[in-house]
Amino acid sequence: MTPSVTTQPSPNRRRSNWQLLMANRLAAAGLFIFGFILLVAILAPVLPMPDPNMTDQPNRLLPPLSQGHLLGTDHLGRDILSRLVWGTQISLIVGISATALAALFGSLIGLVAGYARGVTDSVLMRFVDMLMAFPYILLAIAIVAALGPGLLNALYAIALVNIPFFARNIRGVTVSIRNREFVDAARLSGKSHASILFTEVLPNVLPVIVITMSTTVGWMILETAGLSFLGLGAQPPTADLGSMLGQARAQLFTAPHASIIPGIMIFALVMSINLLGDGIRDVLDPRLRSGALDRPLSVTHIARQTTPAATLADAPVLVVDHLFTGFANGGAVTPAVRDVSFRLGKGECLGIIGESGSGKSVTALSLMGLVASPPGVITSGAVYIGGQDVLSLREHELIALRGARVAYVFQDPLTTLHPLFPVATQIAEAVMAHNQVSKRAAHQRALELMETVGIRDAADRASAYPHELSGGQRQRIGIAMALANDPDVIIADEPTTALDVTVQARILELLQDLRRERGLALLLITHDFGVVAQVCDRVAVMKNGEIVEQGETASILRAPQHDYTKRLIACVPELGEGHAFLDRVRPLFEETRL
Amino acid sequence: MTAYIGKRLLAAIPVILGLSIIVFLVMKLIPGDPAQALLGSYATPENVARINRALGLDRSWPEQYVIWVDNLLQGDFGRSYILNRPVLDEVIERFGATLILAGASLVICSIVGILAGIASAVRQFGWTDRIVTFFVLVGISMPAFFLGLVFILFFAVQWRLLPASGMYAVYGGGDLADLLRHLILPAGTLAIVATGVVARLTRAAMLEVLRQDFIRTARAKGLSENAVIYRHAFRAALVSVIPVLGIQAGFVLGGAVYIETVFQWPGLGQMLVKAVSTRDLLLVQGGVLVAATVYVLVNLLADVAQAMLDPRLKA
């Protein structure tokens, strides 16, 4: 791997989870509101409020801000504020209890199913699937119908219908850790299954249980309130927030405040919990912090301090001049490509060779601004295509050059071709991106291209999807797509690495033929000196983001100057060499060992 | 494709059987003696025994289940004693209204949710994204039954724009325009939560897809950003959004219970709530079973749609 050389002192002081959570303003607001509601609900018995169930007929349906009744009174003259606080307490208790019950039984099912696998797993998970096959709330209603309306029965019903969420999540995690080394070790040490499950597996599953609880508790409060609203939960005179709303509904037009106040309370409670839950999930999910889920822009971010000449006279088709590309990491940029320069003429082939992480692919992708950004950023240098610096072009001008003047062939065509479009459509699309032609003409051209790259019965294969073709055929499609607009330069990024050896040779041959016939400039990225020797006129050796040696292939093979080059060359074994290969290679590596 | 559909249909049969077993077992949860409850003050021991024999309650549970399923297959869901008509007739009549409501909500949440999700992903961290994310959060935290009341207060009472309840006007209604006018508020309210969920998952799916290698290939071909996003990325993201839409079908079918109560929509949900409070258990049983079966079929449809979009799934 590339050692991470950082250009600026990194502000990467690790912050605690708590600090991260508080830095998220929405989550902090959620925590504050939820904390306040929780506090008031807990303090309900000691707060100076009237009895929530004390009726006062003469003073019914008083509006908010009335004397002695801050939020007014309901249809029986009861104090709404007092009922609200007590109702919140009940809603919280019921919602949290339902979550705890669902978490307990769901986690237990998930743990046992995931740990035992086999028949136990199948039976338990089929049962869970059946529960999930019901439209969510209808099963709860059926249960309440059977048990009879009531707060406790509503709680059981909501808990039961939420068991599947926990069972599925927990089972997934359990399956992934049941074969880990520490579980094996515990098993070998003679621990019982139950003891392994609770002392080894459970602690590792606990965070998932907590996350699932924090993301479902708001939902469960909402659902229990819903059942009470329908009159199936809390029964008078007990009132949770849902039944307050349900009872006040009859006076919606004459006293809307009696409905709106508990409604807003449910909303505020659930919203604060959801804000907090999202915040907790974001803090605990490392993918969100690393920016791995950021949307890549259409062109790599270009932030050059200097402005190189926009054009270059008498230049060959491709000139790369002191190129620097890095990856933004917090405030700093970790460089991946440093001061890379090379030239490539018509009909020429330049190989860029290096191990993985040496920066050769990032170099290749930088040329047309294809490095995913964020986090990619081109910090310096220029790329001249036909004497014109493409990095100073406008976005749509650069996009217009892609595929037209400079085309790419990527490594693994199974992941680099679109899985859901037939291959001929994908080639035709490349044609239409740069030519005003009809769909039919583009399709015809695609078939011709497929024949050019040696796909027999092209007309039959045209409607095939990438997964229906062999690896070699897929790579031929990739090459056909690159040829679609007669580009000047083809950049082939490890085009044969995913293929087996015989197919590899044929694909290289195809690239060679095309280069000769069409006068293409070929930039070949590889880690294999055998491939370089076979195809390239010149070669540049990359290590840690820099070109350490560059020259004619023959002379570099004959007299490599850099130690790293010597090692790369030595790594190409010869047929029948046997142990001599290891003897030859060993001393080259011994001196570098730390 | 036909073979695939056939295979999925076969796989749905055990699921529907499982549903019927769960519904059957739930009905066995009923505390007390059903015959006693049915007879009330006429519950002499002879009468109880007679009813038990007549209803087959003196047999073992598996026997009772088989008889019950056999009756269901012949279209006999029992009789509602409260409404004094066959359960199936009532359920089918009510279910039509629920399908209109739930179907409209599903259409709304699919279109609005997907569009909002894409807009949000494309302008990640921009203002569009922040606004969508905020509304999604409000949407999934909002009790639909409360929002419905607020809508009635404003749209029906305050501004007198739309009717507050029912499916048709009492006088002179009954045509499509009338139905649509009555449909807007309940369907919109019912769609709120589902729209939030769909938008959230579409956003996540789009962001996931935009990181894939084949998107880089599409860019390397020189496709415009619009083609990259709306043709290549969206097509791939849709494959993972379709099953989410299937699940939302379940949420709107269930959520219809609240919305139908708030808006007096003459559907299955309203019927179920009434049936629970009058303890009309056969009606509850029939309604839940029919709704659950339809939900299974909708999910099957989602599976088929997904396979049509993604040729890799047909294998």
Interface test with B, best of A418, A421, A469 (most B CBs within 10 A): A418
φ/ψ of A40, rounded to 5, equals: -60, -40
Q: Tell me which residues of chain A have a pLDDT lower than 50.
A: 1-12, 593-594
B61-70 tens-digit pLDDT? 888 889 889 9
> How high is the pLDDT of residue A236?
85
Q: Is A64 on the interface with B (CB under 8 A)?
A: no
> How high is the pLDDT of residue B47?
81
Mean per-residue pLDDT for B40-45? 77
In chain B, residues 196-215 whose CB comes closer than 8 Å to chain A: 204, 206-208, 210-215
Would you mind telling me the total number of residues written for chain A in this entry?
A: 594
> How high is the pLDDT of residue A500?
80
Checking DSSP bridges between strand A388-389 and strand B79-80, what pairing results, if any?
Answer: unpaired
Domain for residue A49, yes or no?
Answer: no
Q: Is B232 on the interface with A (CB under 8 A)?
A: yes
Asked if the Cβ–Cβ distance from A399 to B224 is below 8 Å, we say: yes
Domain of residue A378, CATH code: 3.40.50.300
Residues A389 and A465 in one domain: no
Distance from CA of B143 to the nearest CA of A (A): 6
Residues A279 and A396 in one domain: no
Residues A154 and A127 in one domain: yes
B66-109 tens-digit pLDDT? 988 998 999 888 888 788 899 999 999 999 999 999 999 999 99
> How high is the pLDDT of residue A7?
42
Asked if the Cβ–Cβ distance from A416 to B219 is below 8 Å, we say: no
Residue where a domain terminates, one of A288, A306, A335:
A288
Distance from CA of A518 to the nearest CA of B (A): 19
Full residue range of the structural domain in which residue A442 is found: 416-486
A34 contacts in chain B (CB < 8 Å): none
Going B9 to B13 to B18 to B24, the CA torsion angle's sign is: positive
B236 contacts in chain A (CB < 8 Å): 418-420
Q: Is A180 on the interface with B (CB under 8 A)?
A: no
> How high is the pLDDT of residue A187?
87
Distance from CA of B110 to the nearest CA of A (A): 18
Tokens representing residue B196 in the block = 């939030």
Domain for residue A309, yes or no?
Answer: no
CA A585/CA A569 separation, integer angstroms: 10
Domain for residue A358, yes or no?
Answer: yes
B116-156 tens-digit pLDDT? 999 999 988 889 999 999 999 999 899 999 999 999 999 98
The pLDDT confidence band at residue B312, using thresholds 50, 70 and 90, is confident
Distance from CA of B134 to the nearest CA of A (A): 10
- How many other β-carbons are positioned within 10 Å of the β-carbon of residue A236? 10
Residue where a domain terminates, one of A232, A266, A288:
A288
Distance from CA of B191 to the nearest CA of A (A): 15
Residues A264 and A166 in one domain: yes
CA A504/CA A484 separation, integer angstroms: 22
Q: Is A131 on the interface with B (CB under 8 A)?
A: yes
β-partners of residue A492 are A409, A524
In chain A, residues 471-500 whose CB comes closer than 8 Å to chain B: 478, 481, 484-485
> How high is the pLDDT of residue B227?
93
Distance from CA of B45 to the nearest CA of A (A): 24
Q: Is A190 on the interface with B (CB under 8 A)?
A: no
Residues A169 and A262 in one domain: yes
Q: What is the DSSP string of B22-88?
A: HHHHHHTT--S-HHHHHHGGG--HHHHHHHHHHHTTTS-HHHHHHHHHHHHHTT---EETTTTEEHH
Characterise A347 by phi-psi region: left (phi > 0), alpha (psi -120 to 50), beta (else): left
Asked if the Cβ–Cβ distance from A420 to B29 is below 8 Å, we say: no
Tokens representing residue B242 in the block = 């379709």
CB A203 within 8 A of CB A142: no
Residues A245 and A344 in one domain: no
B209-265 tens-digit pLDDT? 998 999 999 999 999 999 999 999 999 999 999 999 999 999 999 999 999 999 999
Q: Is A124 on the interface with B (CB under 8 A)?
A: no
- pLDDT above 70 coverage of chain A, percent: 94
Domain for residue A466, yes or no?
Answer: yes
Residue in B251, B254, B276 closest to A145 by CB = B276
Q: Is B240 on the interface with A (CB under 8 A)?
A: no
Query: What single letter denotes the amino acid at residue A478?
Result: G
> How high is the pLDDT of residue B170?
67
Residue in B27, B30, B220 closest to A368 by CB = B220
CB B241 within 8 A of CB B114: yes
A366-395 tens-digit pLDDT? 999 999 888 889 999 999 998 899 998 998
**A-to-B residue pairs, Cβ atoms closer than 8 angstroms:** 241
Distance from CA of B46 to the nearest CA of A (A): 25
Residues A471 and A502 in one domain: no
Residue in B143, B250, B253 closest to A266 by CB = B143
Q: Distance between alpha carbon B269 and the CA centroid of its chain, in Å?
A: 10
Residues A282 and A236 in one domain: yes
Q: What Å distances lie between residue B128 and A451, A492, B134, B233, CA to CA?
A: 46, 38, 10, 19
Asked if the Cβ–Cβ distance from B221 to A433 is below 8 Å, we say: yes
Residue where a domain terminates, one of A486, A509, A530:
A486
The pLDDT confidence band at residue B113, using thresholds 50, 70 and 90, is very high
Domain of residue A278, CATH code: 1.10.3720.10
Going B234 to B239 to B240 to B242, the CA torsion angle's sign is: positive
Asked if the Cβ–Cβ distance from B250 to A401 is below 8 Å, we say: no
Residue A79's closest CA among A93, A61, A106? A61
Q: Is B41 on the interface with A (CB under 8 A)?
A: no
Domain for residue A108, yes or no?
Answer: yes
Name the residue with tokens 């019982």.
Answer: A192
Residues A325 and A349 in one domain: yes
Asked if the Cβ–Cβ distance from B285 to A142 is below 8 Å, we say: yes
> How high is the pLDDT of residue B148?
94
Domain for residue A132, yes or no?
Answer: yes
Residues A150 and A231 in one domain: yes
CB A531 within 8 A of CB A571: no
Residues A434 and A423 in one domain: yes
Chain A: residue nearest B146 by CA?
A263
CA A437/CA A427 separation, integer angstroms: 13
> pTM of the predicted model, to two decimals?
0.87
Domain for residue A7, yes or no?
Answer: no
Q: Is B292 on the interface with A (CB under 8 A)?
A: yes
> How high is the pLDDT of residue A154?
93
Distance from CA of B172 to the nearest CA of A (A): 25
First-to-last alpha carbon distance for chain A, in angstroms, is 16
A138 contacts in chain B (CB < 8 Å): 253-254, 257, 272, 287-288, 291-292
Domain tally, chain A: 3
Residue B41 has pLDDT above 80, yes or no: no
Mean per-residue pLDDT for B163-180? 79
Q: Is B13 on the interface with A (CB under 8 A)?
A: no
Domain for residue A1, yes or no?
Answer: no
Q: What angle do CA B27, B33, B37 make, to 5 degrees?
A: 95
User: b/e for B215-239, b at 16 or more Cβ within 10 A?
Assistant: bbbbbbbbbbbebbbebbbbbbbbb
Find the radius of gyration of the CA atoms of chain B: 24
Q: Is B32 on the interface with A (CB under 8 A)?
A: no
Q: Distance between alpha carbon B125 and the CA centroid of its chain, in Å?
A: 33
β-partners of residue B111 are none
Residues A421 and A516 in one domain: no
Residue in B27, B140, B276 closest to A232 by CB = B276
